[in-house]
Amino acid sequence: MPAVTALRPAQRTIFMRNPEAPVGARKFEVTCSSCNLRELCLPGAVGEDDLARVENLVYARRRMKRGESLYDAGDEFNAVYAIRSGFFKTSLLDGEGREQVTGFFMGGELLGMDGIGAGRYHGTSIALEDSEVCVMPYSLVEELAREMPALQRHLHAVLSREIVRDHGVMMLLGSMRAEERLAAFLTNLSKRFVRRGYSQNEFHLRMTRDEIGSFLGLKLETVSRLFSQFQKDGLIEVNQKHVRILDIEGLGRVLAAKH
């Protein structure tokens, strides 16, 4: 299902912010200014004065069921998406049918920027739980970025940080051993959950062992064995998708261990 369906009239009526619409239709209408993810999101650094204009970035919102794809590789690019709630994976499929998970994304993070360059999305984004995203038409983003230096700066920063993130993943895949990869993965998740106000030590993995494995360049059995080993070593407590970190410094030591 192409991304444009998010903008079809029926949904637009429901989700589009429209001053003329009866207030009751969506009582607790969420705006960027009231969104608790604002600092993490695209409107991030924009000052109070310009905030009203940035609100226009969000042309619509789209609800996603678990397993649904926000866009597929090759779909025409026309918007980037900010995650309002939920959890996503992005992945690539090569000619041989191999899947490579390129990232996991959560509230306040942006999806779809891989489509700007070619006019088509390069990868696929799939919701790993029921989610909601803000649809930001790219032409609008461009236009506002030209008029608001703060937004422009922040947009570039977001793109640049995605590059930096990718380089971190390259380091992980290119020069870390299996146990280091998983330790890095867990500490990274932990940090990101904390910024969103969740527990630093306890969380629910939304992805399967296979998806973790694909992201880390490991087989699912190896991931499973490592979880068990970390538990045996007293670093974590793991039960299926539920993880509790017992010794965050210990995980750090796994990362710093001589290779």
Nearest to 105 by CA among 80, 85, 130: 85
Question: For DNA, which stretch binds (CB under 7 A), given 83-91, 137-145, 183-191, 219-227?
Answer: 219-227
What x-and-dash track marks residues 132-171 binding DNA by CB under 7 A?
A: ----------------------------------------
Q: What residue 136 binds from a copy of itself, DNA, none (CB within 5 to 8 A, per partner kind)? A: none
In whole angstroms, the minimum distance from the beta carbon of 20 to DNA comes to 38
Structure tokens at 247: 């010794």
In whole angstroms, the minimum distance from the beta carbon of 98 to a copy of itself comes to 5
Task: Determine which residue in the list 5, 13, 18, 228 makes contact with DNA, applying CB under 7 A.
Answer: 228
Phi-psi region of 90 (alpha: psi -120 to 50; beta: other; left: phi over 0): beta
Phi, psi of 87 (to 5 degrees): -155, 135
Q: What residue 142 binds from DNA, a copy of itself, none (CB within 5 to 8 A, per partner kind)? A: a copy of itself
Cβ atoms of 127 and 103 closer than 8 Å: no
Structure tokens at 17: 């912010």
Q: Order of strands, edge to edge, in the sheet holding 242-245? A: 202-204, 242-245, 236-239
Q: What residue 23 binds from DNA, a copy of itself, none (CB within 5 to 8 A, per partner kind)? A: none
Tell me if 240 contacts DNA by CB under 7 A: yes
Distance from C-alpha of 235 to C-alpha of 252, rounded to nearest angstrom: 10
> 137 - beta bridge partners?
79
DSSP string, 98-154: -EEEEEEEETT-EE-GGGTTTSB-SSEEEESSSEEEEEEEHHHHHHHHHH-HHHHHH
Task: Determine which residue in the list 51, 150, 178, 189 makes contact with DNA, applying CB under 7 A.
Answer: 178
Distance from C-alpha of 163 to C-alpha of 238, rounded to nearest angstrom: 31
Question: For binding to a copy of itself (CB under 8 A), which residues are involved?
Answer: 92, 94-96, 98-102, 113-118, 122-123, 142, 145-147, 149, 152-153, 155-164, 166-171, 173-175, 214-217, 255-256, 258-259
Distance from C-alpha of 229 to C-alpha of 227, rounded to nearest angstrom: 5
Cβ proximity to DNA: between 109 and 179 the closer is: 179
Q: What residue 60 binds from a copy of itself, DNA, none (CB within 5 to 8 A, per partner kind)? A: none
Tell me if 246 contacts DNA by CB under 7 A: no
Cβ proximity to a copy of itself: between 8 and 161 the closer is: 161
Tell me if 69 contacts DNA by CB under 7 A: no
Catalog residues that contact DNA under the rule CB under 7 A: 66, 177-179, 205, 208-210, 217-225, 227-228, 238-241, 259
